[in-house]
Amino acid sequence: MARLQLGRSAVYDLLRTGQLASITLSRARRIPAHALTDFIRTRLDQEAAA
């Protein structure tokens, strides 16, 4: 995924574990922009707490 600079396998792992939200339209899986924002915010909060 270009915005996160992650490979396909890493993105699928995030989707499988529920760390990154997605929706399915027909046979295509889409990640809404707000899901990316939430994911990034969560990761930043986790790093700040560490």
pLDDT in tens, 30-50: 999 999 999 999 999 999 998
**Percent of the chain topping pLDDT 90:** 84
Q: At residue 2, does pLDDT exceed 70?
A: no
Q: At residue 3, does pLDDT exceed 80?
A: no
Helix, strand and coil percent figures for the chain, each rounded to 5: 55, 10, 35
CB-based contacts of 40, cutoff 8 Å, min separation 6: 4
Q: Which two tokens stand for residue 20?
A: 């990154």
**Percent of the chain topping pLDDT 70:** 96
